[in-house]
Amino acid sequence: MIEIHPNMNNQYQNTFFGILVLQNFHEQPGGKEAFHRFTYDELESIRSSHSNYDRKVFCETDEVVKPYARYYKKFKKTYHVLLQLESILNGKDFPDTIPLVQVLFMAELKTSLLIAGHDLKKCHLPLTIKMSQGGETYSGAGSHSIVLKPKDICLKDQKMYILSIIYGQDDTTRITKETKDVLFLIDGVPGLDKYHIEKGLETLLRYVRVFAPDTVPIDMRVIGTSAMQGGENQ
């Protein structure tokens, strides 16, 4: 279903990505109310753990945020999960939206990982994680045309790009209220340990099961690029 293009191995050695695939997702009766209660407790925990929040210190010391901040800085961007976290710390309400989107957003807040969600029925499989050459285009949120910068980590199906780490997801395969089959992809960057990706997948599944307790994933694993040893690509 998803593979890593060889052009990733030279620029982005030892970089990991998390895959969680769900089929026939159905919110159980009372799921929304259960998640609302669950969200309240999780947000209280997040705010408590960031009571002395300082963006500069957080970006320099947190094992998850530090590699993302470094990656985004190369493109003169700010890691956007930081902005989401700061909005919650500043008292903004958690969005009341589609369950699978709520799961994704809460998991990003809790783990600080960058996570994408795609409707599999709208994807032309198989998918490929690859490095952009620069100049490729795709339709972003709100059908806004995006032109990729060189060396960004992206996701492409058999017809088009559907994700860029810097610019986000496409408009075509985004999760909607009709989505039943979904791919959650935890976007890795250099320096982010495999352990954090594994824990992020566990968190995602735990949050999905608040809405649908009987959910069993059809794929849940970590994949990664090759490591360089002795100057040769293994």
Rounded mean pLDDT, 129-150: 95
Q: For residue 70, give the CATH number of its domain.
A: 3.50.40.10
pLDDT > 90? residue 230: no
- pLDDT tens for 79-102 read 999 999 999 999 999 999 999 999
Alpha helix segments (H runs only) across 112-224: 194-211
Rounded mean pLDDT, 117-130: 98
pLDDT > 90? residue 163: yes
Strands (E), 23-74: none
Burial class (CB in 10 A: 0-12, 13-18, 19+), 52: exposed
Domain count, the chain: 1
Please name the amino acid found at residue 71: Y
Supply the pTM of this predicted model: 0.95
Per-residue confidence (pLDDT) for residue 226, from 0 to 100:
86
- Domain encompassing residue 93: 2-233
Rounded mean pLDDT, 143-171: 97
Per-residue confidence (pLDDT) for residue 40, from 0 to 100:
94
**Which residues, other chains included, contact 183 with Cβ-Cβ below 8 Å and sequence gap of 6+?**
1, 2, 19, 20, 21, 117, 118, 120, 123, 127
| Cα separation, 130 vs 154, whole angstroms | 5
| Cα separation, 214 vs 155, whole angstroms | 29
pLDDT > 50? residue 229: no
